[in-house]
Structure 1
């Protein structure tokens, strides 16, 4: 049994994690602990406060007691808001506090993109324009090229209420002819049940926050799992458009 630990801010789309655990179909356990998300304003200062060392350290003890082998700070904006160097410092501090390998969803997007040999990507964000721009800057620091950035400008609570129609509309609005993949960075979105359909719709890989968070935790735990229901990242198979 491999136990994976996740620190998740607030309550929006946490039910994606047990869905992913089922889709993995293996001896993988997904343990999730909620952290204080603070004000749902999605400003840079609020995002940095949400991912502060004190808030993360206060929640990680429960994962250690649960036997987690790796921990991921499952907040994209709560990590990229620190910038490239600051996000590295954030996960180094989390690893020390947790006593285990640590990463964040932002780095999950970077490592997953490298796994799929991607360079040019499109971003479909639910954030405001300025916050979506911070994610684009983070990807550029990782030598990725955002060819399009779409920002819906809604709150985490609104994103958590979105269903399939809104999710597909976001992905289509974000897509660009030059993009090799579409990235949907918000951990407040429900995406686990729609990955294969999204990829068939767009004809290219789609990377979403919960998907890359779990993939990143598996990478830290040195596990590789083939899970067709979780998209190209978990299969490396070609996308067939319908």
Structure 2
């Protein structure tokens, strides 16, 4: 069994994670701890406060007791808002506190782009423009070329969580760019787990979403590869290992 612990700010689209766990349909567990937040806003000051070390540390022991082998701070805005160096310091502090490998959704996006062998991306964010721009700056520091950035101006996490797949599609189409090899949807408050193949078919390119990459990053830290095409190209970048066969996204040993 592989267990990835997730630190998730407040309440919004956390039900994506049990959905992903079912879609993986394997011996993978994704226990989640809700970290404290002050209100529903994704303004810069609120996101900085959400990522303070004491808030993250609050869930570490619970996730350790759940058997976590790696921890992921499952928020894109709450990590990229600190900039490249600040985000590195944030996860380094988390790793020291937990005594486990740790990362965040922002670094997960950067690593996932590399996993896909891509170098040019576009960003379609529910965020206000300033926050979307901070995430794009973070990606550039990771060596990723950002061809276009679109922010939809959604300030409250609860509003983003209420978006249906049609609104997500509209945002994806509006934020796409012909030069981009991959489209990024960086909002962990957005329900995307059930819609990734549909979005990829619509755009004709890989799509990375925040909760998807957070889980993938945790599995990467735990040195666990899973073949699960229902979670998009990111989970199907290589052929299944020898002795495995694909069956609806399930790893089955022959």
- After TM superposition, the score normalised by the length of structure 2 is 0.92
1:124-203 matched pairs, under 5 angstroms: 124-154=124-154, 155-203=156-204
Q: Distance in 1 between the 2:208 and 2:90 partners? A: 23
1:91-110 matched pairs, under 5 angstroms: 91-110=91-110
Q: Distance in 1 between the 2:134 and 2:228 partners? A: 31
Who is 2:47 aligned against? Answer: 47
Who is 1:123 aligned against? Answer: 123
Number of residues of Structure 1 aligned to a counterpart in Structure 2 = 237
Q: Shift of residue 40 of structure 1? A: 2.5
Q: Distance in 1 between the 2:34 and 2:88 partners? A: 22
Q: Shift of residue 46 of structure 1? A: 1.5
Three-state SS of the structure 1 residue aligned to 2:31 is: strand
Q: Distance in 2 between the 1:182 and 1:12 partners? A: 22
Who is 2:249 aligned against? Answer: none
Q: Shift of residue 215 of structure 1? A: 0.3
Who is 2:69 aligned against? Answer: 69
Q: Shift of residue 60 of structure 1? A: 1.4
Q: Shift of residue 112 of structure 1? A: 0.2
Q: Distance in 2 between the 1:36 and 1:126 partners? A: 22
Q: Shift of residue 236 of structure 1? A: 1.6
Q: Distance in 2 between the 1:79 and 1:6 partners? A: 14
Q: Distance in 1 between the 2:212 and 2:131 partners? A: 21
Q: Distance in 1 between the 2:145 and 2:3 partners? A: 34
Who is 2:211 aligned against? Answer: 210
Unaligned runs of at least 5 residues, structure 2: 239-254
Three-state SS of the structure 2 residue aligned to 1:187 is: coil
Q: Shift of residue 176 of structure 1? A: 0.6
Q: Distance in 2 between the 1:37 and 1:159 partners? A: 16
Who is 2:20 aligned against? Answer: 20
Are 1:29 and 2:41 counterparts?
A: no
CA RMSD of aligned residues (A): 0.9
Q: Shift of residue 7 of structure 1? A: 0.3
Q: Deviations over 1:20-72 (max 9, x none)?
A: 00111211011111011223232222111111111101121110111111000
Three-state SS of the structure 2 residue aligned to 1:223 is: coil
Q: Distance in 2 between the 1:187 and 1:38 partners? A: 17
- After TM superposition, the score normalised by the length of structure 1 is 0.96
Who is 1:240 aligned against? Answer: none
Are 1:235 and 2:201 counterparts?
A: no
